Amino acid sequence: MSKLTNVSPQRMKERVTAGFEQNFGPLGDGHVYFAPGRVNLIGEHTDYNGGHVFPCALTIGTYAAVRRRTDRNMRFFSMNFPRNGIYESTLDQLFPSNRFGWTNYPKGVVKVFGDHGFPVETGFDMVIFGNIPNGSGLSSSAALEVVTAVMLCDQYGFDLDMEEIALLCQEAENTYNGMNCGIMDQFTVAMGREDHAIFLDTATLEHEYVPIRLKDASIIIANTNKKHHLKDSAYNDRRRECEQALEDLAKVVRIQSLGELSCEEFEEYKDAIRDPVCRRRAKHAVYENQRTIEAVRLLKKGKLGAFGRLMKEAHLSVSRDFEVTGEELDTLAEAAWRVPGCIGSRMTGGGFGGCTVSIVRNDSIPEFMGRVGRTYRKKIGYQADFYTVKIGGGPQIL
């Protein structure tokens, strides 16, 4: 995984500032902004089904050095993709770019801000530098959206709270980038709290900060190094399949989301779902929601082993019923379960590549990384990367 994951925030600020000065001159009265990545401990593909999720923000994320302009031009440069050079656009041409695809995230936020009565009248120069591996499923796109939104509020005087920012960023990803995601990623990035996960009801946005006390264990991320491209994958198909299942169920039971059903209610009404594929998708959404509620209850009681067993159940469900894992993620999870010091492991994020999240006893971390890494390389043919993550807070103006 990226060597930048251990670089301090101050050093990252210095490097992105230097990158700005190299490409656009002195930062002057501009600022450096930060938004974190996120990992979801349990509750996958429930956020767009009106269910619960349990994510946390990370200490790694996206840094942006931005200076406001006096004209309507926008210039973008990514230090993670320096060979692409500088991309130039204007506020009068807010169209998605194919070659400089990452710029669609900040441009989408600018567009949605304007649509909601927060017009950006003058352009800006932006240099970004992130230590979230691109395509890892740790919400680099949501971090870029939120860091842009925080910058816009600061530079242009817009008065929005973090929950409003999360909703606007989700809309930007849905409408401008064509990724029909739920609210979890943007909400977690915007609302993160150090050493806490967020127990979020995505139907109402009611949320609770739950302290994460792992005692003698740590959170380990394993990256398949298979990039996932959710817009080009079956992610949007899964959402449509869930919507079809909901439409069928609504004919026999009064619900507005799959998250309203208990497991028992689903079993009672499931035959109303005509397509067996849609039925499996709905089963995962319903059972995963209940699993998440139970997992948080257990964690609050300090029952980490039981929480870990639910992580395994969650992975099996997202693999068999939702079918978004694939050989790489399944190999990592199955190898992790065989390591005695692994309390729990599962796919995290949208799937189709990306990462697993595991809770591992500290004295077993070297064995865990070694055994799982060797198994993965032998079966898949290339290496996975591992690193220990810390739970961080939300966006900052540095």
Query: Is residue 196 over pLDDT 50?
Result: yes
User: Does 377 fall in a domain?
Assistant: no
Q: Is the pLDDT of residue 387 over 90?
A: no
Q: What is the pLDDT of residues 352-362, one digit of tens each?
A: 888 999 999 99
Domain membership flag for residue 195: yes
- Domain hosting residue 59, numbered range: 3-211
The pLDDT of residue 294: 98
The reported pTM is 0.93
Mean pLDDT of the chain: 94
Segment 295-305 mean pLDDT: 96
**What is the mean pLDDT of the segment spanning 110-127?**
98
Q: Is the pLDDT of residue 99 over 60?
A: yes
Q: Could you tell me the CATH number of the domain that includes residue 77? A: 3.30.230.10
Q: Is 71 a catalytic residue?
A: no
SS3 string, the chain, reads CCHHHHCCHHHHHHHHHHHHHHHHCCCCCCEEEEEEEEEECCCCCCHHHCCEECEEEEEEEEEEEEEECCCCEEEEEECCCHHHCCEEEECCCCCCCCCCHHHHHHHHHHHHHHHCCCCCCCCEEEEEEECCCCCCCCCHHHHHHHHHHHHHHHHHCCCCCHHHHHHHHHHHHHHCCCCCCCCHHHHHHHHCCCCEEEEEECCCCCEEEEECCCCCEEEEEEECCCCCCHHHCCHHHHHHHHHHHHHHHCCCCCCCCHHHCCHHHHHHHHHHCCCHHHHHHHHHHHHHHHHHHHHHHHHHCCCHHHHHHHHHHHHHHHHHCCCCCCHHHHHHHHHHHCCCCEEEEEEECCCCCCEEEEEEEHHHHHHHHHHHHHHHHHHHCCCCEEEEECECCCCEEC
In a domain, 66, yes or no: yes
Residue 367 included in any domain: no
Structure confidence by residue, pLDDT tens digits, 142-194: 999 999 999 999 999 999 999 999 999 999 999 999 888 889 999 999 999 99
In a domain, 70, yes or no: yes
Counting the structural domains of the chain, the total is 1
Query: What pLDDT is stored for residue 329 in this prediction?
Result: 96
- Classify residue 181: in a domain, yes or no: yes
Indicate whether 371 belongs to any domain. no
Evaluate whether residue 167 is within a structural domain: yes
> Which residue out of 29, 92, 161, 185 is catalytically annotated?
185
pLDDT of residue 1: 42
Q: pLDDT value at position 232?
A: 54
Report, as an integer, the average pLDDT of 335-351.
95
